[in-house]
Amino acid sequence: MNDRPLKPLALTFAASGVWDTIAAIQYLFFIGIDRKIDNPAIDPFFAVFLGSFFLCFAYLQFLSAFNIERYAFNVGCLIFGRIFYVIQLYASMVFVDGFPSTFWFTGIIDGGFVILYIVFAIRGGMKLQSLFLPKIEYT
């Protein structure tokens, strides 16, 4: 498959890596260690723990973007993860008393990434199977 049609998907995946890096910095330094943001309240350990996961996700996205066809399964994994996050976020805002509504924009951004992943994968000629089942190559 020619890499050109998948370039928008790769660029979107790299951009979502930037978004996760920003989240990691927020969780590591403003929510976790330095505690400038404390609504919703979170133990510093868990904030740093989440920040480390965001850094792992970002790293995975940056490196996968260089060979997006081979690592399309990573896109599929992030689709599931981001959908779960958006559902959990909005459910918390609606059903949990006192949960701050200031996070609504992150749900929109993450939902937008999911839509872009799927649209650019399909427009690039990739089958949805490539996103959700790892491609196995035998040598």
Q: What would the mean pLDDT of 51-66 be, rounded to a whole number? A: 93
Q: Is the pLDDT of residue 44 over 60?
A: yes
Neighbours of 6 (CB within 10 A): 23
pLDDT digits (tens, 9 = 90+) for 90-122: 999 899 888 877 888 999 999 999 999 999 999
**Tokens for 34?**
């330095």
Determine the residue type at 131.
L
More confident residue, 48 or 6: 6
Say yes or no to pLDDT of 58 above 90.
yes
Between 139 and 9, name the one with better pLDDT. 9
Is the pLDDT at 128 greater than 90? The verdict is no
Percent of the chain, pLDDT > 90? 53
| pLDDT range class, residue 59, cuts 50, 70, 90 | very high
* pLDDT, position 33: 66
What helix, strand, coil percent values describe the chain, rounded to 5?
Answer: 75, 0, 25
